[in-house]
Structure 1
Amino acid sequence: MLKNNFCVGCIIFQSLDNEDEFNHAVSCSGATLDSVNIAQINHVGLYIGNGQIIEATQKQGVIMRPLSAFLDDANENVITTINEPSLIAPAIARAKSYLGLPYNFSFHPDDKGLYCSQLITHAFKTHQGNDYFQCYPMNFRDTTTQQILPYWINYYDKLKQIIPHDLPGSHPQQLLRQSSCFASIIHLKTHEMLTFA
């Protein structure tokens, strides 16, 4: 069944096993009280076939690398396929055109480069040219306290920028919650064997 459901154009959401302060803050910023099962999701990439994935990383910007290495970085992978297969080829072409762009450290919608979920929202467009995935007002607050996380206060102090709270953007968890966009969603732990088309 996995072989039939996992194919070119799958979007892979991850809970990275490198639980540093940045990844923890990203996880917390995407969480909602009703999304406990995906509360640790903090990264996403696009499988383009031939054992390769395109993703936006902090260290290298937008890159293509082996899928096996990508999967090894995570505690959990959520494999999804979209409802509109005809959008996949143009999405992959757009994603390839972003290779070499820097990482968008500010998460500002108009800043140069792309962050991981922004890569996905930019790549997937409807045939009319609209976004396939909805953007949402970005959140930098802790779900419980409703206060801006101290990590983000320090992070943006170093960038000398205002926190782009409530500006339009995206987050891996927020994309994954748009269940009507997906034909299938499969949760897998890293030890489970995968076959890729």
Structure 2
Amino acid sequence: MYINNLQNGDLLFMRDNSEFSKAIIETTKEYSHVGIFFDGMIYHASRKYGVVKQKLEDFFSEGNWDVDIFRYPEIDCEIVQERAEKYLGCEYNHSFYPDNGSFYCSQYIAEILPIFDSVPMKFNDEEKDVSDYWKKYYDELGVDVPVGVLGTNPSQLSKCEKIKLIGKLRRI
């Protein structure tokens, strides 16, 4: 599937080779980022920018993303895009704790498209309940690791039975 075949409301589930992405995937197994497409733009919560909308070309120029496209057939694009616009400018939720006025990527998507369940968060790897990466990450933030706190992650959202995999995004 090519960029010019995207439809408003398509969900972009992604992974890349950054250390942050690898740490997320080590725990959640498949994806490390998610955004939603409207009018040539990706709306997402970015560690660098907070909640933003970016031209797809600009977003892809910043990283080497592998992207799968999912679609929610019953989406009301007008309502969801209006919700997406409402949170533009909010800060990124670096701690992943809920209800603090900021958003991480899957938290933002679940807020604007409320079809997804929350699950107890995990930060483990194959050997430890909390991986070394996440221990260091949360030590630097100065907060406890939110193990078991209800939240979301991109891989978990992608498993929602209400959305359907359309295909891989191929860039021209």
Distance in structure 1 (CA, Å) of the matches to 2:12 and 2:64: 11
- 1:24 counterpart (22, 28, 42): 22
The 5 Å alignment of 1:49-64 reads 49=39, 51-64=40-53
Match of 1:173 in 2: 155
Match of 1:9 in 2: 9
Q: State the aligned residue count.
A: 171
Does the 8 Å CA contact 1:9/1:89 hold for their aligned counterparts? Answer: no
- For structure 1, the 5+ residue unaligned runs are 32-38, 126-131
> 1:75 corresponds to which letter in structure 2?
W
Match of 1:186 in 2: 167
1:137 aligns with 2:120: yes
Q: Which moved more, 1:98-107 or 1:74-83?
A: 74-83
Distance in structure 1 (CA, Å) of the matches to 2:60 and 2:70: 14
SS at match of 1:74: coil
Deviation at 1:4, TM superposition (A): 9.6
SS at match of 1:101: coil
Distance in structure 2 (CA, Å) of the matches to 1:5 and 1:65: 18
Match of 1:91 in 2: 80
- For structure 2, the 5+ residue unaligned runs are none
Deviation at 1:23, TM superposition (A): 1.8
SS at match of 1:83: coil
Distance in structure 1 (CA, Å) of the matches to 2:112 and 2:137: 27
> 1:8 corresponds to which letter in structure 2?
N
RMSD of equivalent CA atoms: 2.0
Distance in structure 1 (CA, Å) of the matches to 2:86 and 2:158: 24
